[in-house]
């Protein structure tokens, strides 16, 4: 699960995982928009990542895998991915196994890789654009 950005999602996922006797790997979605929290792409504020990571780490049924981020629209991607790498470094100081950095999509994956991405989301390059999605 790569889009956890608030406590109610953590609680719901943990409950679901336990009810099916499963374990879910979780990436925290970090807001990379310089304008602040949630301007359309979602994510927890970088300053709140540790608290949310701590919650995931103590939640039975969940494993804290790392972070995920989407570059802000209309701005260069690389600075956003550099910020995500910094947030990842901060999180790993407290949770060393949270090593995933999921960043980069079809248009900006090279910038994400340059900043340490371990996972990419390149659906558009593989399947073409989705209808109705700008």
CATH code where residue 51 lies: 3.20.20.10
Count of domains for the chain: 1
Look at residue 133 and tell me if it is in a domain.
Answer: no
Predicted pLDDT at 36? 61
What is the domain extent for residue 55?
7-127
Q: What are phi and psi of 38, to 5 degrees?
A: 45, 75
What is the reported pTM?
0.90
Look at residue 66 and tell me if it is in a domain.
Answer: yes
Look at residue 122 and tell me if it is in a domain.
Answer: yes
Please compute the mean of the pLDDT values over residues 88-105 and round it to a whole number.
97
Spatial distance between the Cα atoms of 120 and 109, rounded to a whole number of angstroms: 7
Is the pLDDT reported for residue 1 higher than 70? Answer: yes
Please compute the mean of the pLDDT values over residues 128-133 and round it to a whole number.
79
Question: What pLDDT digit, counting tens, does each position of 15-74 carry?
Answer: 999 999 999 999 999 999 887 655 566 799 999 999 999 999 999 999 999 999 999 888
Residue 9 burial class via C-beta count within 10 angstroms: exposed 0-12, middle 13-18, buried 19 and up? middle
Predicted pLDDT at 65? 98
Look at residue 134 and tell me if it is in a domain.
Answer: no
Please state, rounded to an integer, the average pLDDT across all residues of the chain: 92
pLDDT band, residue 130 (cuts 50/70/90): confident
Closest to 102 measured CA to CA, from 114, 85, 120, 116: 120
């Amino acid at each position: 699960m790569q889009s956890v950005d608030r406590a109610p999602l953590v609680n719901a996922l943990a409950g679901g995982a336990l009810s099916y006797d499963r374990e879910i790997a979780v990436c925290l979605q970090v807001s990379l928009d310089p304008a602040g929290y949630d301007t359309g792409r979602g994510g927890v504020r970088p300053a709140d990542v540790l608290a949310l990571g701590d919650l995931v780490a103590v939640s039975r049924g969940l494993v804290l895998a790392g972070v995920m981020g989407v570059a802000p629209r209309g701005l260069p991607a690389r600075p956003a991915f550099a910020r995500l790498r910094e947030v990842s470094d901060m999180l790993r100081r407290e949770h060393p196994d949270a090593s995933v950095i999921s960043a980069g999509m079809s248009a900006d994956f090279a910038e994400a890789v340059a900043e340490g991405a371990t996972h990419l989301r390149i659906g558009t390059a593989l399947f073409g654009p989705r209808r109705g999605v700008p």
